[in-house]
Amino acid sequence: MSNKVKNILLVGVGGQGTILVSKILSSGLLNAGYDVKMSEIHGMAQRGGSVSTQVRFGEKVHSPIMAHGQADILVSFEMMEALRWMKYLSPEGKVVINDYQIPSAPILFGKVDYPEGVAQIISKKVNATIIKASEIAAKIGNARTMNIVLFGALVKSMKLTEIDWESAIRDNVKSNMVDINIAAFKAGMETVN
Amino acid sequence: MTKLLTGNEAVALGVWEAGISYACAYPGTPSTEILENIAANYKKDILAEWAPNEKVALECAIGASIAGVRTISTMKMVGVNVAADPLFSFAYSGVNGAMILVSADDPGLHSSQNEQDNRYYAKFAKIAMLEPSNSQESKDMIKSAVEISEEFDTPILFRMTTRICHSKSPVNEGERITPVKKPYIKNPAKYDLVPSVSKALHYILEDKLKRLQAFSETTPLNFIQWNSKKIGIVTSGISYQYAQEVFGTNASYLKLGFTFPLPIEKIRAFSKEVEILYVIEENEPFIEEQIKAAGIQCIGKEKLPNVDELTPEIIARELLGKELQTIDIDTSIVPGRPPTLCAGCPHRGFYVELRKLKNIMITGDIGCYSLGGNEPLNAKDTTICMGASISMGHGAQKAFDLFDENKRTIATIGDSTFFHTGINSLMHVAYNRSRTITCILDNRTTGMTGHQNNPGTGYTLMGMPTKEADIEAVCRAIGIEHVRTINPLNLEEVKATLKWAMALDLPSVIITRWPCVLKKFTEGDIEEFGDYFGKCEVVADACTGCKNCLKTGCPALQYSKADNKVVIDQVQCVGCEVCKQVCKFDAIERKQKA
């Protein structure tokens, strides 16, 4: 498989705003001259299910989907979803995890407990950045920009800072939400060294 | 201009560019967004309509084609089964204006009840087939399909798959052809399929197929990419992208965009140039079987699976023995995250009471309410296809009754699914003296596919107000005498109504009428259902930690082990009060509005 193509995997729970991030990400990459392919699954997953979006970019991209062990970065909008999707990550890959738990149905109904120590389990194996994105977003003034905080961390981790992301954000959010999303984006970038 | 579009968005653009004037469909994942995009983006130029089912949708498109305009009908793969009747015969008559049928298949069953490979429909119905492999082709091939349809007088099966429909890739916009209407000339020898006409048309159809075969051999839709001749790959659709991902320039490709009839001589010539020939295709060996039948040696399903989605990973592993290294980590501690009925879903209250009934068989249907079968509601026995709940329920009831088995069958079906094909089944129930209980869960929209209008919502796809079909009146008109419409959020009402229906030895219908919690309320909805939204909260002192409320399966409720109490997520809660009604300790209250 081609080494030049970069693979980004965004995972979370339906309704967390992964789709907006993938939109901003892919439009920014396209405008920067990359070939881009993005794949996501709609349908039943929207009813509180686990969701994933794959973004692949490079000089020439064929497949819209990646293999296990191929993701250069895994951005998880929810804590335990990071572990669920870990098999997709390359052993040299990075993980950005939102320190935010959304219990799934079996947990809510008291059948099982939310798994403990997910961040530690993952940090032992790979380069992981754990972010309290919802707290950061709330401080900026809108908890719903949590997804854009994570997007900022993704951009910094992937060293994609030279791309004009502010325009990409402007093109994809409502005009009265541009400033706060750009602030969230910048705060997200600051979480990564 | 280059845009990043899904295959579905690209098809909608292609429909506009190709001068298509009329589009008709029934929603179904992964096809739904094609019509939604046409209606949203090309309102002025194209008439787009939701039909109550796929058969109606295709017949509308056929009528428009015969009248002389270019048309398209879109559906998910199982929808083509419903539309198969007109499809097979329309192949005989042929078109006037171009007619394209989009079949959106779902390898991997992301949201379907089977994994059928609809390429066989092209061969079975004897119509030409095109298969795009990315969004650019999804757009461009609609234009090609229109040309082929009119040149060869054939409907086109435009076969897509989930990964084509829902993946985004760059698309260059093109020139638009201004739609023109061909004259309609009465021609019973072509369009009036009585037996004598059809027999004559069958001969013509076979001749058409020969001409299409010759076209397939020369069209640039089927092209060769020469690289290393050690390996040759025949492929189509998304598999072409996967094959290139894995083999790059280490193989030559015969990429098929026009896949029925197949260019067998082109394949034969290609096979002679390469040392080993692979056929890489998803699901069934549609291409491989025909290649082998022509006496050409190749390797396909001996190595590649016909179950589940094909992926570059599977191709690399099975054909090259290559696998990427993964991280050694135990993921088994992660609990599942199955889809659930939303907080405030109107179906919840109904299922909470339904599951308490004894000696029943619950036949389910296709829609959000199929989630009523999941934990912790567990209120469903069967799912087969759209509309089947009512007719299967009838058949099962008759079987139980024939052998005096003490069981009642209860069918659960949604509003859109009732209009789809449930209505026929209910007619059978009334006509054949049944005693089933049919529950029509009317959430005032088509929920699972994302809120499409249907004959019961009072609006068309284009947003025009229209006559609203009255489900209760329909039921009575076809002969069901015992019909009640209830509020599913009122558990006492649900319980009493189920009791009423169980006591009858005649067929009955219970209509639960309340809007989907995610639906944008229309003016009519606000007038009828009012502003009921609010929040419920747990009175901590009163909560005994009995967890009875958790059995409603509401995702807004969470049990806290630490203090043996339930808490309600104030973001998700909409104040439906189902949990409040099941609480035996009055520990759940509705918050007063500020």
| Residues of A with Cβ-Cβ distance to B561 under 8 angstroms | 113
Instruction: Evaluate whether B96 touches B67 at the Cβ level (below 8 Å).
Output: yes
Give the whole-angstrom CA distance, residue B126 versus residue B124.
6
Question: Which residues make beta-bridge pairs with B438?
Answer: B411, B509
| Residues of A with Cβ-Cβ distance to B235 under 8 angstroms | none
Structure tokens at B320: 């090259």
Instruction: Evaluate whether B456 touches B469 at the Cβ level (below 8 Å).
Output: yes
Is it the case that residue B201 has pLDDT exceeding 70? yes
Is it the case that residue A2 has pLDDT exceeding 50? no
How many CA atoms does the CB half-sphere of B69 hold within 13 Å? 19
Q: Mean pLDDT over all residues of chain A?
A: 93
Put simply, the answer to whether A48 touches B555 (Cβ < 8 Å) is yes
State phi, psi for A172 to the nearest 5 degrees: -120, -5
Distance (Å) of CA B61 to CA B42, B81, B95, B180, B462: 18, 16, 10, 16, 17
> Sorting pLDDT into bands at 50, 70 and 90, what band is B283?
very high
Structure tokens at B96: 């006037």
Question: Per-residue pLDDT averaged across B278-284, rounded?
Answer: 98
Put simply, the answer to whether B340 touches A106 (Cβ < 8 Å) is no
Give the whole-angstrom CA distance, residue A83 versus residue B484.
49
pLDDT tens figures, B486-541: 999 999 999 999 999 999 999 999 999 999 999 988 888 999 998 888 999 999 99
Angle between helices B135-152 and B7-17 (to 10 degrees): 40
CB nearest to A108's CB, from B331, B341, B558: B558
Q: Mean pLDDT over all residues of chain B?
A: 96
Distance (Å) of CA B259 to CA A5, A88, B252: 30, 33, 18
Closest CA to B292 of B319, B312, B264: B264
pLDDT tens figures, B537-559: 999 999 999 999 999 999 999 99
| Residues of A with Cβ-Cβ distance to B548 under 8 angstroms | none
Structure tokens at B374: 């999941």
Cα A16 → chain centroid = 10
Question: Per-residue pLDDT averaged across B185-207, rounded?
Answer: 98
Give the structural domain span for A76. Answer: 6-190
| Residues of A with Cβ-Cβ distance to B316 under 8 angstroms | 1, 67
Put simply, the answer to whether A30 touches B2 (Cβ < 8 Å) is yes
- Mapped to the 3 state alphabet, what secondary structure does B355-388 carry? CCCCCEEEECCCCHHHHHHCCCCCCCCECCCCCH
Q: Is A1 within the bounds of a domain?
A: no
State whether residue B592 is helix, strand or coil.
coil
Cβ-proximal residues to A30 (8 Å cutoff; 6+ apart), any chain: A36, B2, B4, B170
| Residues of A with Cβ-Cβ distance to B337 under 8 angstroms | 13, 48-50, 81, 84, 104-105
Cα B24 → chain centroid = 14
DSSP alpha helices (H): ranges in B383-490?
388-402, 415-417, 423-431, 471-477
Q: What is the pLDDT of residue B523?
A: 87
> Sorting pLDDT into bands at 50, 70 and 90, what band is B32?
very high
Cβ-proximal residues to A2 (8 Å cutoff; 6+ apart), any chain: A58, A60, A62, B245, B248
Give the whole-angstrom CA distance, residue A10 versus residue A189.
17
CB nearest to A106's CB, from B246, B311, B335: B335
Distance from CA of A153 to the nearest CA of B (A): 22
Distance (Å) of CA B545 to CA A66, B56, B314, B588: 45, 52, 48, 12
CB-count exposure of residue B499 (10 Å: 0-12, 13-18, 19+): exposed
pLDDT tens figures, B212-226: 999 999 999 999 999
Structure tokens at B85: 């009747």
Put simply, the answer to whether B326 touches A91 (Cβ < 8 Å) is yes
Structure tokens at B452: 């499409």
Question: Per-residue pLDDT averaged across B353-367, rounded?
Answer: 97
DSSP alpha helices (H): ranges in B507-567?
523-529
B47-64 exposure pattern, b = at least 16 Cβ within 10 A, e = fewer: bbbbbbbbbbbbbbbbeb
> Sorting pLDDT into bands at 50, 70 and 90, what band is A1?
very low
CB–CB contacts below 8 A, A to B: 182
Is it the case that residue A16 has pLDDT exceeding 90? no
Share of chain B above pLDDT 70, in %: 100
| Residues of B with Cβ-Cβ distance to A56 under 8 angstroms | none
| Residues of B with Cβ-Cβ distance to A65 under 8 angstroms | 163, 167, 311-312
Q: What is the pLDDT of residue A44?
A: 56
Beta strands B2-6 and B167-172, pairing class: antiparallel
Do the domains B222-320 and B536-590 sit in the same CATH topology, yes or no?
no
Give the whole-angstrom CA distance, residue B463 versus residue B454.
11
Q: Is A58 on the interface with B (CB under 8 A)?
A: no
Q: Is B332 on the interface with A (CB under 8 A)?
A: no
CB nearest to A107's CB, from B246, B335, B448: B335
Q: Is A33 on the interface with B (CB under 8 A)?
A: no
Distance from CA of A105 to the nearest CA of B (A): 6
Beta strands in B106-200 (DSSP E): 128-130, 156-161, 167-172
DSSP alpha helices (H): ranges in B410-548?
415-417, 423-431, 471-477, 491-503, 523-529
Give the residue with greater pLDDT, B159 vs B570: B159
Q: Which CATH entry fits the domain spanning B222-320: 3.40.50.300, 3.40.50.920, 3.40.50.2000, 3.30.365.10? A: 3.40.50.920
Structure tokens at B407: 């069981």
pLDDT tens figures, B59-102: 999 999 999 999 999 999 999 999 999 999 999 999 999 999 99
pLDDT tens figures, A96-152: 999 999 999 889 888 899 999 999 999 999 999 999 999 999 999 998 899 999 999
Put simply, the answer to whether A125 touches B327 (Cβ < 8 Å) is yes
State phi, psi for B73 to the nearest 5 degrees: -130, 135
Put simply, the answer to whether A39 touches B450 (Cβ < 8 Å) is no
Is it the case that residue A23 has pLDDT exceeding 70? yes
Query: Number of folded domains in chain A?
Result: 1
> Sorting pLDDT into bands at 50, 70 and 90, what band is A14?
confident
Structure tokens at B331: 């993921």
Q: Is the ipTM of this complex over 0.90?
A: yes
Position A73: which residue type? I
Structure tokens at B476: 């009575």
CB nearest to A48's CB, from B4, B340, B376: B340
Distance from CA of B375 to the nearest CA of A (A): 8
State phi, psi for B563 to the nearest 5 degrees: -115, 15
DSSP alpha helices (H): ranges in A32-71?
none
Put simply, the answer to whether A42 touches B547 (Cβ < 8 Å) is no
State whether residue A160 is helix, strand or coil.
coil
Q: Is B534 on the interface with A (CB under 8 A)?
A: no
Closest CA to B10 of B166, B117, B235, B229: B166
Q: Is B545 on the interface with A (CB under 8 A)?
A: no
| Nearest-by-CA chain B residue for A91 | B327
State whether residue B256 is helix, strand or coil.
strand
Angle between helices A18-31 and A165-172 (to 10 degrees): 130
Task: Give me the sign of the Cα torsion angle B11, B12, B15, B20.
Answer: positive
Cα B549 → chain centroid = 33
Instruction: Evaluate whether B27 touches B35 at the Cβ level (below 8 Å).
Output: yes
pLDDT tens figures, B128-154: 999 999 999 999 999 999 999 999 999
Distance from CA of B340 to the nearest CA of A (A): 6
Give the whole-angstrom CA distance, residue B276 versus residue B462.
52
| Nearest-by-CA chain A residue for B549 | A109
Q: Is A47 on the interface with B (CB under 8 A)?
A: yes
Distance from CA of A189 to the nearest CA of B (A): 25
Distance from CA of A111 to the nearest CA of B (A): 10
Structure tokens at B403: 């052998």
Closest CA to B319 of B230, B222, B236, B223: B230
Question: Per-residue pLDDT averaged across A54-78, rounded?
Answer: 97
How many CA atoms does the CB half-sphere of B232 hold within 13 Å? 21
pLDDT tens figures, B320-329: 999 999 999 9
Which CATH number covers residue A151?
3.40.920.10
Which B residues in the span 343-402 are in contact with A, Cβ-Cβ below 8 Å? 368, 371, 374-376
The dihedral over CA atoms of A163, A166, A170, A173, expressed in degrees to the nearest 10, equals 90
Give the whole-angstrom CA distance, residue B168 versus residue B4.
6
Is it the case that residue B199 has pLDDT exceeding 80? yes
Instruction: Evaluate whether A92 touches A113 at the Cβ level (below 8 Å).
Output: no
Q: What is the pLDDT of residue A182?
A: 97
Put simply, the answer to whether B337 touches A105 (Cβ < 8 Å) is yes
Closest CA to B165 of B376, B8, B287, B53: B8
Q: What is the pLDDT of residue A42?
A: 59
Which A residues in the span 102-161 are in contact with B, Cβ-Cβ below 8 Å? 103-115, 121-122, 125-126
- Mapped to the 3 state alphabet, what secondary structure does B47-75 carry? EEEECCCHHHHHHHHHHHHHHCCCEEEEE
Q: Is B201 on the interface with A (CB under 8 A)?
A: no
pLDDT tens figures, A167-183: 999 999 999 999 999 99
The structural architecture, per CATH, of the domain B536-590 is 2-Layer Sandwich (3.30)
Q: What is the pLDDT of residue B561?
A: 86
Give the whole-angstrom CA distance, residue B507 versus residue B530.
32
Put simply, the answer to whether A87 touches B327 (Cβ < 8 Å) is yes
Indicate the fold that domain B346-529 takes in CATH: Rossmann fold (3.40.50)
| Residues of B with Cβ-Cβ distance to A91 under 8 angstroms | 325-327
Instruction: Evaluate whether B101 touches B82 at the Cβ level (below 8 Å).
Output: no
Which of B327, B452, B564 would best serve as a mutation to test chain A binding (most A beta carbons within 10 A)? B327
Question: Which residues make beta-bridge pairs with B25?
Answer: B50, B74
State phi, psi for A40 to the nearest 5 degrees: -145, 160
The structural architecture, per CATH, of the domain B2-218 is 3-Layer(aba) Sandwich (3.40)
DSSP alpha helices (H): ranges in B178-311?
188-191, 195-218, 237-247, 264-273, 286-293
